[in-house]
Structure 1
């Protein structure tokens, strides 16, 4: 039975004594969350504020630095979603192209936006259990933040209490890992990482301990957070699978206050749900264990780029499309952006790699570009040489939308022409970002993960990106959202039965239950009801379970931004607190 709906309770409506009590319960680790850029402003939520020049200088220096942002609770990697999604007047943004530009803080008010006004620095399961009890008793909604890599604003929520898991560190490695409760013969070579471990630290540890971890393309993405629970693609995914394919076990605190181990031998339904059902929905993951590979995996690396002149990218994309099926069978994975390509494969020799790329290399050289095809001895060598310089920028006002492009499109002339024409349609507005990171060659067993099955019969995870600036008008922001929808629609039109990546979909992903989970949605919903019967956890497009509905930026006919919230919780104490 679904409890009756009641009003969302804002933190400011609660007696101070309740917050003080919670702070004592969590060992003094309850803190106030404020926008990272606040020290630069003279006004805060419409009230006069004392600008702090010294603190502001530190913010300006680190504004586009992932290491700075990851260590500050009030800083998220994609800054725009903290503010544009809540109202027309709320923002606390600096100029990402020049963070010291005074127009940002002299012409605008700093607002709280969607940043939770309170957060708990989680150090143990007890902190999570205390937060669940507090939310259940008061009606204050919860949100979960790890490293803040979130293209849809799911890890932030206005007037919520946040659980910040960044400080759940720790990493270990075993050649004889047996999932808890499983027979001893189920042994794996695996690593176990705390929720707050970033991939750069994991990769360094893996290299030092002679193994390879398959993970994200950014140094500060959390290895046990939303990346793995939403799917988790890598440039090595074509051969070694998605993060969810490799996940062996999760330690999680579910909303009923239980600390559970989920693997193939116990809580197997929850284990399946966490392998693709998305973060922030089924509980707070404390750590995860995943398969690893030997360190000595020589990689053939291709780094190609050329200057864009006129329409010279048209032939470039035609060559890419025509070769995608062949490259897919050869294990190539990587990133293609504009007129540049960085791909790797562990399956070819250096001579085979050069032969494989001959046509595209010749074209790049004909356009006065550069071609490097080389062998690197390990993933870590590739990461340090290429990824750190090529990873996605942070502190931006980017809006992203994606689509998984079926392999069938690259196997017929008609399909390739459709793909080419779809790309040509968006080129006047944006260059596609193509992640060759689908598990096409991975020996996947159908039904073992809960992501959309479209992952396993696709070659490309393609995206189109739009943006606005710190001083953009309301009309410009609306246009950026609408244009993004229109650009991605070109790829929907030629792949109506495919899907999208939960971690990188449109803010307004159409029919998102089908896009993210396909036939797995109904089972995920039943598992959600089992482990979270009161609906304490939810977020935007995390499943639209019948408990909480949180809507980010809404563009209505009058070009207004609103935040709509509806929460179902049950506790009689709420009446006494109003």
Structure 2
């Protein structure tokens, strides 16, 4: 339903009269579990906002609401056909991406502290136990969202928030693993439909005089779309591994990386220009020639903090062929022990040769844009020999383009989503792979993860090890620049888990991440995939850059209209915005 003037007056005003007229909190009229919009906006102010946006202000309930007979304390008719659509798409990222009320990992849709949820059973979405006799709660899903089409929509939202105290959140693809793009009781700015893409062989940043081969992307353009566009236009875009991630959003602003990043740099290294609406209401161009401080902050400071980025321009590479090594062995403790030893011993050499990719305790899918096929086969021969001697498989091949690799190895292994999932990670310095003591430490951590915790470590070979970085040009932690690995992993919980179950899951993630912290005391973590309860997060995510980032945050957002969990300028867990997170236990 659109909030046109007619819709508002005939359908929505009565709803708002129940939910908005008081200060922040909960609406007794819709049950104590339904969190209203935070702030003191009047009915007239909401009406004016809806009319000014010409149908782009929408109400929202959780994605699974059609399956329930009680939604936010109100009896409703269960919508069988809509529920079936949700059940069929529940674990599919392509289903979740184009929906403003859906996240890839749906803890972001819930209030974890109070178990206010509206989840289906991700292992069996047809399981009626998830909805029979249950109340679908709003959780952390914004009650209203703006379908952003341009800077004016964002400017109106900032003005509205400043006048009324309404909280704002920003969402594109829903690949935010820490819930920073959801906020209970907020007005959401949804940018997923900004899908413009244009390619120029001679892009010149505004105010500059040097040209670049570059692609300009709207905030909603995702990697699957971008890679297809790049292939059609015969260039290579350096991007991430999941097809529904938006390149311009948190990935492009928070240190997003690629399996090609060891040679070609992080996403932030490749951004030439941002178009952004800052909380002071101004639509700005940020590049190395104007608003340079903002440009620096957006190149690593994280999304949802300094403004709403509507467009970014990133440098691209020529079309290229890629060598791929896909090798695996059956997973068991003996195989994992030897396999991890092998890849740890080979890692530094592989880094020098330009390999990037993903590895576990029993597999690698690595890519190389520099070596010939013969050189690549020779490079990974120790792993190939081990795999073939232990009932494993090995394919080392050349593919004609990134798109060919993406189609064969990424889309065909599409990740399942829809189950609450949390991540932990740590950047592993290259120095540890140069001596036996360091190698043993890395092996002990990864093998302990597998044997003690039942976690097969997910090793991302994505740090920009060979990239020719100019010191000080981005704001991510400098730990990226001297690392070879990012060790990551995830833990999940079920739709019917208790608060105690959820808290124990978070504690396990922190405990396992600490194993890696112990051997990397001066390193850091990837902002988008770090522990939700990362201790000393300012140092872990930004290192020495944090004081400068905080100063820039205060300059462009003096009224603190934007805030999110462990973001730059975070007001801390006691802020009522974060009342749905499990309280910190560090």
Give the TM-score normalised by the residue count of structure 2: 0.91
1:509 paired residue number: 534
Report 1:14-93 matches (<5 A).
Answer: 14-85=41-112, 87-93=113-119
Report 1:453-532 matches (<5 A).
Answer: 453-532=478-557
Q: Give yes or no for contact 2:339–2:361 (8 Å, CA) kept in 1.
A: no
Shift of 1:546: 5.2
1:274 paired residue number: 298
Shift of 1:47: 3.1
Shift of 1:107: 5.4
Q: Give yes or no for contact 1:231–1:502 (8 Å, CA) kept in 2.
A: yes
Report 1:95-244 matches (<5 A).
Answer: 95-106=121-132, 108-182=134-208, 184=209, 186-244=210-268
CA shift digits 1:290-334 (9 cap, x unpaired):
100001x11110111222234321111111111110111111101
Shift of 1:8: 5.3
3-state SS, counterpart of residue 486 of structure 2: strand
Q: Give yes or no for contact 1:32–1:117 (8 Å, CA) kept in 2.
A: yes
3-state SS, counterpart of residue 168 of structure 1: coil
2:19 paired residue number: none
CA shift digits 1:371-429 (9 cap, x unpaired):
10000011111011111123433212111011000001111100000001111221132
Report 1:316-395 matches (<5 A).
Answer: 316-395=339-418
Q: Specify every segment of 5 or more residues in structure 2 that has no aligned partner in the other structure, as ranges.
A: 1-22, 26-35
What CA distance in whole angstroms lies between the structure 2 residues aligned with 1:474 and 1:454? 34
Shift of 1:513: 0.3
| Distance 1:258-1:207 versus aligned 2 partners, 3 A rule | same
3-state SS, counterpart of residue 135 of structure 2: coil
Shift of 1:176: 0.9
3-state SS, counterpart of residue 525 of structure 1: helix
What CA distance in whole angstroms lies between the structure 2 residues aligned with 1:139 and 1:129? 15
What CA distance in whole angstroms lies between the structure 2 residues aligned with 1:293 and 1:83? 41
Aligned-residue CA RMSD (Å): 1.7
Q: Give yes or no for contact 2:336–2:447 (8 Å, CA) kept in 1.
A: no
Shift of 1:543: 1.8
| Distance 1:127-1:374 versus aligned 2 partners, 3 A rule | same
1:258 corresponds to which of 282, 285, 288:
282
Q: Give yes or no for contact 1:39–1:56 (8 Å, CA) kept in 2.
A: yes
1:398 corresponds to which of 411, 421, 445:
421
3-state SS, counterpart of residue 166 of structure 2: coil
Give the TM-score normalised by the residue count of structure 1: 0.92
Deviates more, 1:325-334 or 1:385-394: 385-394
What CA distance in whole angstroms lies between the structure 2 residues aligned with 1:84 and 1:362? 50
| Distance 1:467-1:134 versus aligned 2 partners, 3 A rule | same
2:337 corresponds to which of 314, 325, 338:
314
| Distance 1:381-1:554 versus aligned 2 partners, 3 A rule | same
What CA distance in whole angstroms lies between the structure 2 residues aligned with 1:61 and 1:506? 31
3-state SS, counterpart of residue 82 of structure 2: helix
| Distance 1:417-1:107 versus aligned 2 partners, 3 A rule | farther
Relative contact order, CA 8 A, sep 6+: which one is greater?
1
Shift of 1:268: 0.6
What CA distance in whole angstroms lies between the structure 1 residues aligned with 2:565 and 2:332? 41
Q: Give yes or no for contact 2:115–2:498 (8 Å, CA) kept in 1.
A: no
